[in-house]
A = this chain, B = another copy of it.
Amino acid sequence: MVIHLMEKRMLAGQECDTQTWDMGNCPVRDVLDRIAGKWSTLLLEALAHKPYRFGELRRLVPDISQRMLTQTLRDLQRDGYIEREVFPTKPPSVEYRMTELGRSLFEPLSKVLLWAGENHASVKAARVKFDDSDLG
Contact = CB atoms under 8 A, between A and B. Distances in A.
A9 B78 contact: no
Contact of A9 (B3, B61, B114, B125): B114
A111 interface: yes
B108 A32 contact: no
User: How many interface residues does chain A have, given as a range?
Assistant: 35 or more
Interface string A40-51: 111001001100
Contact of A113 (B7, B23, B32, B123): B32
Nearest to A24: B63
A131 to B, nearest CB: 7
Central interface residue in A62, A109, A117, A122, by most chain B CB within 10 Å: A117
A21 to B, nearest CB: 6
Given A29-B42, A110-B6, A127 B78 contact: yes
Interface of A: 1-3, 5-7, 9, 14-16, 18, 21-23, 27-33, 36-38, 40-42, 45, 48-49, 60-63, 74, 77-80, 101, 103-117, 119-120, 122-127, 129-131, 135
Q: 5 nearest interchain CB pairs?
A: A80-B126, A27-B120, A31-B116, A108-B111, A78-B130
